[in-house]
A and B are shown apart, each in its own frame.
Chain A
């Protein structure tokens, strides 16, 4: 059983919701990212989505764009991002890590080398934002063969037939985008999310997590009530932004930065 399957299965059995923070590898620095990842786990993260920085993040809103720019300004590469995973795995062998990013860095590294390196580093899942299933055949097959979960997105604009196909094609979990827009946009229409998740439930047994626009404990709880878990990205990256200029970070800074995740865990755990 993959690490993701183990974690999601355990959560299902225990009736817990998944909490999945997203942060950009190398923001504010590579060592800091590793430290933050451990702290996120200690404060309730079940899975970590690690963003691979790319110069042209066309699906991301301004907060994550700036995080990516900060990371790239320090020269972070895909090799470095994988190094972050490897470093994290020295201490934590249990928490699944999903790489999230855009295709070009992977394409330029070459699929085979990427998968070899990702496997060695301890990556559990890959979500390529600008690679829909129809364009994924080669990379998808190679990832599956290597035992790495392939996670795809479903959005409010995805019709039922396509959603069924995507669910069938995905492994690990299904990532539902809560709104029409980019990461960090304002999520207001809870009712349409509820309806769409209900419809998705009929199509798949995969765990469904909701992301985009979840910005605090309250929205985390509301979305987790409708699904199997939530992804929190921009709200965390906005806090990380305040660390950018500092050399090394203290325990106190870390605890302040990830307070949003701690808060989300607390709220989500209130769901019975």
Chain B
């Protein structure tokens, strides 16, 4: 790989940019907080003791490493490349989100912050935040759109059981993006004692970098497991992309391996040719939202559009700035799966492997199955199974007209 290209993967630069994307677009009140976070993280990222503590939490609390599992019957069904699943669904709290919340909660502790806030859509990041807050004895407030609170009642109750205060957000479209606005407002108001745990690789610098660094454990393990179990690197990686934290976590440690192709799967909702999807990399344009420049679902007057996906975790109008960059330099191919393709994949994996995937991850499964079918049987692909689907069974029953 050429030197220029290899450098393209060393982002962000000192000012937090991945090419033209990323940066720090927040109100003046938050500038000092973001700068402080960057300073502390810079110092800690070279501190072996910090990473030892992080690894220890991942091992004994989260249950890592998560297995790389050969999905034999799914492979036979597709009739092409061998399909391996990276089992993030087996983590404590049932998804990859906890890798990040553990890391950031350790940061919060280190910065002597006593209060943490988080935004959540499906509730997975909210649950993961409430979980580590309980584990470390921190006060926790989770912002959640009023619409999502209705859609994800079990997770709301879970957060409350964990001692978190769930704050209903009634402004705007009353979904994830509005919850993020409200969390930013809280942070500006309580900036002295509060740490904001952003749940994905978006937001102002240094969040896209630090969330990526914490999630990279996925790709590092997968790389090692691949060498051990397959005897070589995989031919392709597939992961779903909402904000994109599970995808960047899997992809990043492989970026310089030219032989590994990568596919990020966005939510095509009712179809990319409708306005009802959540696929900014496929159908959006660059703009500025929530602290960074990236691809967005924005209308031609600059208002952020309401998105749609059957999966609440992918139902977001933006995407992490590093993905925007990886798209532009053609390192990762960004594709999309519709609601119905994801549903179909959900059922296939459940019936063929006895694994109930999250609706988010089902988008990756849907595309991964097509990809495998088109590849030679000698090829190997890894699909990131980013979360378990127990949280989604009510949604699926409702969509399919089944009363529980």
Contact = CB atoms under 8 A, between A and B. Distances in A.
A235 to B, nearest CB: 18
Contacts of B347: none
Contacts of B177: 56
A58 B184 CA distance: 6
Nearest to B173: A55
A157 B288 contact: no
B26 to A, nearest CB: 6
B171 A62 contact: yes
A225 interface: no
Interface stretch (A180-188, A198-206, A226-234, A244-252): A180-188
Contacts of B25: 103, 130-132, 135
Most A C-beta atoms less than 10 A away, residue of B25, B30, B191, B286: B25
Contact of B287 (A65, A78, A104, A180): A104
A81 to B, nearest CB: 10
A132 B287 contact: no
Given A58-B184, A130-B288, A153 B171 contact: no
A154 B288 CA distance: 21
Contact of B288 (A79, A107, A177, A185): A107
B27 A130 contact: yes
B28 A58 contact: no
A58 B304 CA distance: 13
A65 B171 contact: yes
B286 to A, nearest CB: 8
B301 interface: yes
B310 to A, nearest CB: 23
B176 to A, nearest CB: 11
A107 B302 contact: yes
Nearest to B178: A56
B185 interface: yes
B24 A181 contact: no
A155 interface: yes
A77 interface: yes
Contacts of B171: 62, 65, 69
Most A C-beta atoms less than 10 A away, residue of B28, B32, B287: B28
A65 B182 CA distance: 11
A157 B27 contact: no
Contacts of A157: 28-33, 191
B385 to A, nearest CB: 32
Interface string B286-300: 111111010010101
B313 interface: no
A260 to B, nearest CB: 23
Given A65-B171, A182-B185, A55 B304 contact: yes
Interface residues of A, number: 44
Interface in B352-400: none
A109 B25 CA distance: 18
Band of interface residues on B = 35 or more
Interface in A166-203: 166, 177, 180-182, 185
Nearest to A158: B28
B172 A58 contact: no
B188 interface: yes
Given A56-B289, A69-B171, A108-B285, A132 B301 contact: no
A180 B289 contact: no
Contact of B185 (A61, A107, A153): A61
Given A104-B296, A180-B189, A77 B27 contact: no
A180 B304 CA distance: 26
A106 interface: yes
B15 interface: yes
A152 B301 contact: no
A270 interface: no
Interface string A71-104: 0100001110000000000000000000000111
Nearest to A212: B29
Contacts of B181: 56-58
A12 to B, nearest CB: 25
B287 A107 contact: yes
B115 to A, nearest CB: 14
A177 B31 CA distance: 13
A189 to B, nearest CB: 13
Given A57-B181, A58-B181, A158 B289 contact: no
Contact of B300 (A60, A108, A154, A158): A108
Contact of A159 (B32, B286, B288, B296): B32
B303 interface: yes
A181 B298 contact: no
Given A59-B188, A162-B31, A180-B191, 17 more contacts: A54-B302, A56-B304, A58-B26, A59-B29, A60-B185, A79-B301, A103-B288, A104-B298, A104-B303, A108-B302, A132-B31, A134-B23, A135-B25, A154-B28, A155-B31, A157-B191, A182-B189
Q: 7 closest Cβ contacts across the A-B interface? A: A105-B302, A108-B302, A181-B189, A153-B28, A77-B301, A59-B27, A157-B32
24 contacts: A54-B303, A56-B290, A56-B304, A58-B26, A59-B29, A59-B185, A65-B171, A72-B303, A103-B25, A103-B288, A104-B287, A104-B302, A105-B302, A106-B302, A107-B286, A107-B293, A108-B301, A129-B27, A132-B28, A135-B24, A155-B29, A177-B28, A177-B29, A180-B189
